[in-house]
């Protein structure tokens, strides 16, 4: 079955460390997205990519970095520059941008310890 897989499900980070969240899809979708979810704030866009080797900043890109070397993969690195990284991170993909519904992964909960 096609789908989108995020790993790990839970991640703990010490202050000052970089961590990378994995996102893989086998839906043959062109576009991929990273959202951050905080209680009461809905979903906020971090980065998105419409095509391999290209990506764009979203509304809250500071302290994050991404790469899109393969169509199937869109990893997110949370750097030490992100001051408040504790959150639930969601990866999504779609056939393209605009009027195509997202398929979401099951999320990664990142906690700074």
Partner 1 sequence: GENVEQHPSTLSVQEGDSAVIKCTYSDSASNYFPWYKQELGKGPQLIIDIRSNVGEKKDQRIAVTLNKTAKHFSLHITETQPEDSAVYFCAASIWTGNQFYFGTGTSLTVIP
Residues at the site binding partner 1, with contacts judged by CB under 8 A: 6, 33, 40-43, 45, 48, 50, 56, 58, 90, 92, 97-99, 101-107
What is the smallest separation between the CB atom of 85 and partner 1, expressed in angstroms?
Answer: 19
Nearest to 28 by CA among 95, 74, 106: 95
Closest CB to partner 1 among residues 15, 54 = 54
Query: Cα 103 vs. chain centroid, distance in angstroms?
Result: 13
Evaluate whether 46 touches 38 at the Cβ level (below 8 Å). Answer: no
Nearest to 68 by CA among 8, 100, 24, 12: 24
Closest CB to partner 1 among residues 75, 104 = 104
Closest CB to partner 1 among residues 22, 80 = 22
């Amino acid at each position: 079955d096609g789908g989108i897989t995020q790993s790990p499900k839970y991640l703990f980070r010490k202050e000052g460390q970089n961590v990378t969240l994995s996102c893989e899809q086998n839906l043959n979708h062109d576009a991929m997205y990273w959202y951050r979810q905080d209680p009461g704030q809905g979903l906020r866009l971090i980065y998105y990519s419409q095509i391999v080797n290209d990506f764009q900043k979203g509304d809250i890109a500071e302290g994050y970095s991404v790469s899109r070397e393969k169509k199937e993969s869109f990893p997110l690195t949370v750097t030490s520059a992100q001051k408040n990284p504790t959150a639930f991170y969601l990866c999504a993909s779609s056939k393209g941008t605009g009027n195509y519904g997202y398929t979401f992964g099951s999320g990664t909960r990142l906690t700074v310890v």
